[in-house]
Each structure stands twice: as structure tokens, then as C-alpha cells.
């Protein structure tokens, strides 16, 4: 029996057999035209599963133009969320007050700049992090708890702070290049599980052999 079940809503079972209901596989609980999520990406929150999209990206209305794209095997901790472009106030005039949102006939996002927000594969977003509009987070990156990510994050970088800056790179450049080429997240789940030890132990020769 596989360790991971791509069809599960609540993927974590505690040692006593209890299903942990605060963690959900995003792909199986989000039905939103502007959110795309890869398999096995999870989010922990205390709301109802059907409220996940609203909790994760509270300003991403159905009428907006930007997208939130989340890769495979992304881990999003409790309290983290995405502030998308639709949350922006107009900044080209003398006032930032969003007058038009108070009247249905003038409400709209067409005059606001929009940028897709993209999270790569195998990204870990720590507790209470805020991801700002249009940010791209590279594969394998780690976002420290309580960070405000306002700029793009390179693959396999560790970032933290407000605004978040690169604390260190997880691996040398040549290793990062090789990992991105291996792209283990695109393997069949059976192959991934056969190579869990190599992934968990950082055994690059074993990944090469696989």
C-alpha cells in the first residue's frame, strides 16, 4: 500500500489511528477557477475543507485575472496565506481609497495591475508567512515562519524576515542545477516512495542512479 494517497482529503493519520483533520491536500478541496495546485501539496488550517481557498487566498475573487499556481509536494503551515493582486488599492492618484468597490456598477479589477503568484515544487512555507502579489518562489525553497515574501525567491533558497531576504542557499549552485534537472516530483509516486531514503538523507548519487 502506498504511503501517500493522492485522493485523500486529510492525508495524515496519527499513531492512534485518528485522522488529523486540520491538514488537507489542496488539490482535493479547492474548486476555484484561478487556483491551480499540484498533487500532494498540503495546507494546515482550522477551518472547514470547503473554506480552504478563502483562507489560503482571501482576496482572490472569482472575477479576478491573476492566478495562484502551486506546484507538487508543497507544504504550507498554519496561518500562512497569499495576498493576491486583487487586494491592491489604486495608487496612481492622490487617494488610495478603493471607492469603486462600494458600487456594483463600478466594481472591478480591470484597471489594477495583476501578476500571477507561483509556488514551485517541494516548497516549505512556514507558520504565519505572508506571500505578496506576483511573487515566484522557486522549487525546493524554504520560507521561514512569519516572513513577508515580497520578492521572487530562487530555487533552494532559505528566506526569512520582513521583507524576506535570502538567508542562505541550501546547496551549491551545481547541486541545485542537478536537482532541478532530476525533478523527482515528476516521478511516479511508486518511484518516489522507493527512493524516499535518498530524498530524506540528501543522497545525490542514489538519486542519480534512480
What CATH number is given to the structural domain containing 155? 2.160.10.10
**Alpha-carbon gap, residue 120 to 176, rounded angstroms:** 14
**Domain-embedded: residue 137:** yes
**Domain-embedded: residue 70:** yes
SS3 160: strand
**Domain-embedded: residue 150:** yes
**Domain-embedded: residue 17:** no
pLDDT band at residue 106 under the 50/70/90 scheme: low
Are residues 32 and 121 located together in one domain of the fold?
A: yes
Beta bridge partners of 168: 158
Q: Which residue has the higher pLDDT, 60 or 113?
A: 60
pLDDT at 98: 82
Are residues 44 and 78 located together in one domain of the fold?
A: yes
Number of structural domains (the chain) is 2
Are residues 49 and 120 located together in one domain of the fold?
A: yes
pLDDT band at residue 65 under the 50/70/90 scheme: confident
Are residues 40 and 85 located together in one domain of the fold?
A: yes
Are residues 107 and 125 located together in one domain of the fold?
A: yes
Residue-wise pLDDT tens digits, 178-210: 999 999 999 999 999 999 999 999 999 999 999
Please state whether the predicted TM-score (pTM) of the whole model is above 0.75.
yes
Host domain of residue 150: 23-164
pLDDT at 21: 97
Are residues 139 and 205 located together in one domain of the fold?
A: no
Average pLDDT across the chain, whole number: 92
Instruction: With a cut of 60, say whether residue 26 has pLDDT above it.
Output: yes
pLDDT band at residue 89 under the 50/70/90 scheme: confident
**Domain-embedded: residue 44:** yes
Residue 89 bears catalytic tag: yes
Please write down the long-range contacts of 42-48, taking CB distance under 8 Å and 24 or more positions apart: 42/11, 42/74, 42/75, 42/76, 43/76, 43/80, 44/76, 44/77, 44/78, 45/78, 45/79, 46/22, 46/78
**Domain-embedded: residue 1:** no
Q: What is the mean pLDDT of residues 93-98?
A: 88
**Domain-embedded: residue 8:** no
Q: Which of 89, 121, 127, 136 is catalytic?
A: 89
pLDDT at 91: 84
Are residues 135 and 176 located together in one domain of the fold?
A: no
**Alpha-carbon gap, residue 69 to 131, rounded angstroms:** 12
Are residues 83 and 156 located together in one domain of the fold?
A: yes
Q: What is the mean pLDDT of residues 35-56?
A: 97
Amino acid at each position: 500500500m502506498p504511503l501517500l494517497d493522492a485522493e485523500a482529503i486529510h492525508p495524515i493519520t496519527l499513531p492512534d489511528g485518528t485522522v488529523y483533520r486540520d491538514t488537507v491536500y489542496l488539490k482535493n478541496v479547492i474548486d476555484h477557477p484561478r487556483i491551480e495546485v499540484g498533487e500532494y501539496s498540503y495546507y494546515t488550517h482550522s477551518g472547514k475543507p470547503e473554506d480552504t481557498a478563502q483562507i489560503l487566498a482571501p482576496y482572490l475573487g472569482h472575477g479576478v485575472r491573476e492566478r495562484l499556481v502551486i506546484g507538487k509536494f508543497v507544504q504550507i503551515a498554519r496561518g500562512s496565506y497569499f495576498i493576491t493582486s486583487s487586494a491592491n488599492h489604486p495608487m496612481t492618484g492622490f487617494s488610495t481609497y478603493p471607492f469603486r468597490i462600494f458600487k456594483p456598477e463600478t466594481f472591478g479589477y480591470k484597471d489594477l495591475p495583476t501578476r500571477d503568484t507561483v509556488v514551485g515544487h517541494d516548497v516549505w512555507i512556514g507558520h504565519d508567512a505572508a506571500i505578496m502579489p506576483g511573487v515566484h518562489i522557486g522549487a525546493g525553497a524554504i520560507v521561514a515562519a512569519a516572513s513577508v515574501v515580497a520578492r521572487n525567491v530562487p530555487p533552494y533558497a532559505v528566506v526569512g524576515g520582513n521583507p524576506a531576504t535570502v538567508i542562505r542557499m541550501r546547496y551549491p549552485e551545481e547541486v541545485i542545477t542537478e536537482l532541478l534537472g532530476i525533478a523527482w516530483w515528476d516521478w511516479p509516486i511508486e518511484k518516489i516512495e522507493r527512493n524516499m531514503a535518498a530524498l530524506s538523507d540528501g543522497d545525490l548519487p542514489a538519486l542519480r542512479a534512480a
